[in-house]
């Protein structure tokens, strides 16, 4: 008789675990926040590249008296560096998303067995 309450508790625990596994890990709000975070990261990388390029160019122009040529040149170089960094971030995110999708897909990456003489 002492096993009956334990079995009932065990079944209840198994049901709760199964229900928890069935739920989505992320809500729609969290996914939206994640996407906004990635977008802001890319914007900040671009603005930082522009700002650093502008600062270096302005500083060199001030020291060398070549205004505005070095400022324009380094601003364009900063823009190019910012775009390159954004592309690298996008590739990193794409790789992470494709790896997560491959893990979720049943049978992905599993070797085929049998004869493929087809």
pLDDT, tens digit (0-9, with 9 covering 90-100), for 86-104: 999 999 989 988 988 888 8
Domain ranges of the chain: 48-104
**Torsions phi, psi of 60, nearest 5?**
-65, -40
Rg of the Cα trace of the chain?
Answer: 28
pLDDT, tens digit (0-9, with 9 covering 90-100), for 33-90: 788 888 999 999 999 999 999 999 999 999 999 989 999 999 999 999 999 999 999 9
- Alpha carbons 38 and 48: distance in angstroms, whole number: 15
> Is the full-model pTM beyond 0.75?
no
């Amino acid at each position: 008789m002492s096993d009956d309450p334990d079995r009932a508790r065990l079944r209840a625990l198994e049901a709760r675990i199964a229900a928890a596994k069935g739920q989505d890990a992320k809500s729609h709000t969290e996914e939206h926040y994640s996407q906004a975070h990635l977008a802001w990261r890319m914007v900040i990388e671009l603005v930082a590249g522009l700002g650093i390029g502008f600062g270096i160019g302005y500083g060199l122009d001030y020291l060398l008296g070549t205004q505005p040529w070095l400022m324009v040149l380094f601003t364009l170089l900063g823009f190019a560096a910012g775009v390159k960094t954004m592309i690298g971030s996008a590739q990193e995110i794409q790789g992470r998303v494709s790896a997560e999708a491959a893990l979720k897909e049943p049978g992905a990456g599993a070797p085929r067995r049998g004869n493929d003489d087809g």
